Amino acid sequence: MIEKAALKPVIVKGDWDKSKVLFEETVLFNSFRQHFVYGLPWGQTRYYRQLISGCLKTIVRKTGGPLRLLEKYGKKYEKIGKRRFCK
């Protein structure tokens, strides 16, 4: 169970929220587009290479490995398509 103190909002100093990088220019977005739109296997995407190189090792460890994490994204993508959230 999560303690109430863990749910308390916190104001974080800095300019972290003023990123000038567009989401469409990120490795994650481009890898999703390569995989879901153009059919590129996950193993050939830059995001996958980041996952296995250790840049995102905490995410990988918590989800059971890079392919298991990417499979979860695939399931969410399919749900979105079935519910017609996007055109």
Provide the token pair at 21. 């990088």
Which of 63, 66, 25 lies closest to 43 in space, CA to CA?
A: 66
Decide: residue 56, CB within 10 A, 0-12 exposed, 13-18 middle, 19+ buried: middle
Q: Where are the domains of the chain?
A: 44-81
Cα–Cα–Cα angle for 72, 79, 74, rounded to 5 degrees: 30
pTM: 0.63
pLDDT in tens, the chain (87 residues): 455 555 677 777 888 778 788 889 999 999 999 999 999 999 999 988 888 887 677 777 777 888 888 888 888 888 887 776 555
Tell me the backbone φ, ψ of residue 68, rounded to 5 degrees.
-65, -40
